[in-house]
Structure 1
Amino acid sequence: MKILSLPSSIGLASKIAKNIGCGVADYKLTRFPDNEIYTKIDTPLDGEDVVVIGNTNTDSDIMSYLFLLDAAKEQNPKRLIALMPYFGYARQHRVYNRG
């Protein structure tokens, strides 16, 4: 099993990895000059169970999380598990002020 984590959840990812005896995979998250995100995973994930951990507090966190999930999926993991300790925008389905 391998764990990937956004910077917002690296502490949690490290604790989980230590408790279950697995590694945290290396990746690069880069921003282009126009602020677009590029993700490259440096650790092979083929045939592995992969857990992607990340909070989605901001719009940028959501996009980073989606790109990290996509990059992991491209490496043909055995299973891909999404873990979001905090799911931003989860309450947007409620109407607090009409309009």
Structure 2
Amino acid sequence: MDELTKIAYNCRKATHLIEKKLIDHLTLREKLELKIHLAGCSVCRVFEQQSSLINKMVRDLFHPEKITELKLDEEYKKQMQERIEEKLNKH
């Protein structure tokens, strides 16, 4: 069995290539192998979609512009400060 035929039946290698594609570049041969596998494997196509979505969500979450949006609401901070002061004044 030649190498290109083997990839058609190898989900482990295909998932590795899917992950590699998301963080790096695939060689021309790897792109071809992955394309052949995905043509016949719906499970790996779903894995690729889910993996891509998860990577995008993580990138979006930790993007510097998004980090500034992750702040406590001013009203919530005010309520917390009042509760802290109440507790401190009781002791």
TM-score by length of 1: 0.28
Structure with the higher fraction of residues in helix conformation: 2
Structure with the higher fraction of residues in strand conformation: 1
TM-score by length of 2: 0.29
